[in-house]
Amino acid sequence: MSQRLHFRIPTIRCRSWSLLLAALLIPGLAWGQGPAGAGTSNSSSKPDSPQPKQEAAGKTNESTAGRYVGYATSRSIFFPDIATSPGPLSAGGKFKIFVDQAISPAYILASALSAAKNQATNSPSGPGQGWDAYGTRYGYSIARASSQSFFGTFVFASLLRQDPRFFPESHPSFFRAIKYSAVRMVVTRKDDGNDTFNSSGLLGPLAAEALSNAYYPVHEQTGMRTMERYGSDLGWKFAGNMFKEYWPTLFRDMHLQALKVVPRPGDASQP
């Protein structure tokens, strides 16, 4: 009888320890498994679901943004029209770029150089020579530059729903930069991201030169002189595109972290 009792006591103790361990392990296993569809089973069942969206975004960037490779993530004070995001601009955003351009160092410096060139060639001849004449020519240049920005960056870009910003490339070669800068004079982006004829960028300088006939001397108000100034405006615009093409790369190569370039999704080395 005592032997049976001694035999049952270890058996009961073993069963008690087994029940205790089961009570501790079962909640842990249940917690580790989680609800149906969670954990690795969920990730393995839908591994490729985001990929079609990413591919669609890549195709959109390739087809609608032309060949640009990057954009500056910090706003440039020198060139306010360098793109800081791939998204569209509102009319208010375009007006802000116009205001920033009108007081930007690039416009002030370009107007000073243009006035110096006109001073050297005595064009227009009405003001004559001297510092007063240079001041008059500088006033002409800054007024034309501001008018170009007003019409091209704000008025026509808003009416035609075009994006007046410049999207620089990442580490472009010299000949690639020349080609890209020239192409972006006649091709721009619409607000929906698709490429289109840059009518706002070409009409802006033309409207500004037509307006300049209101304050230029009478002998400068002819159609031929107006078109000559318009051709000069396009030349300055191309030079500006070249500077803007290399501007973010220059800042990045100088390790100035205030201005970075974010590569376009996909192959950033595409020519």
For the cut 50, the answer to whether the pLDDT of residue 46 exceeds it is: no
Split into its structural domains, the chain has a count of: 1
- Find the helix packing angle between 223-253 and 199-212, rounded to 10°: 130
Give the pLDDT of residue 118. 85
Residue 8 domain-assigned? no
| E runs forming strands in 28-179 | 70-72, 162-163
**DSSP H or E segment with residue 253:** helix 223-253
List CB contacts of 172: < 8 A, sequence separation 6 or more: 69, 180, 245, 246, 249
Termini Cα distance of the chain: 95
Residue 60 domain-assigned? no
Confidence bin at 87 (pLDDT 50/70/90): confident
Residue 23 domain-assigned? no
The model scores a pTM over 0.85: no
Residue 51 domain-assigned? no
Q: 31: which 2 tokens?
A: 């917690």
Confidence bin at 42 (pLDDT 50/70/90): very low
In angstroms, rounded to a whole number, what is the distance separating the alpha carbons of residues 111 and 221? 20
For the cut 50, the answer to whether the pLDDT of residue 217 exceeds it is: yes
Give the pLDDT of residue 103. 87
CB 74 within 8 A of CB 259: yes
* Helix/strand/coil percent split, the chain, to 5: 65, 5, 30
Confidence bin at 57 (pLDDT 50/70/90): very low
Residue 3 domain-assigned? no
Residue 214 domain-assigned? yes
For the cut 80, the answer to whether the pLDDT of residue 233 exceeds it is: yes
Per residue in 169-204, pLDDT tens?
877 788 988 999 999 999 999 998 889 999 999 999
Q: 196: which 2 tokens?
A: 């289109």
Residue 270 domain-assigned? no
Residue 2 domain-assigned? no
- Residue range(s) defining the domain that contains residue 156: 66-263
Q: What is the mean pLDDT of residues 255-264?
A: 48
In angstroms, rounded to a whole number, what is the distance separating the alpha carbons of residues 206 and 188? 17
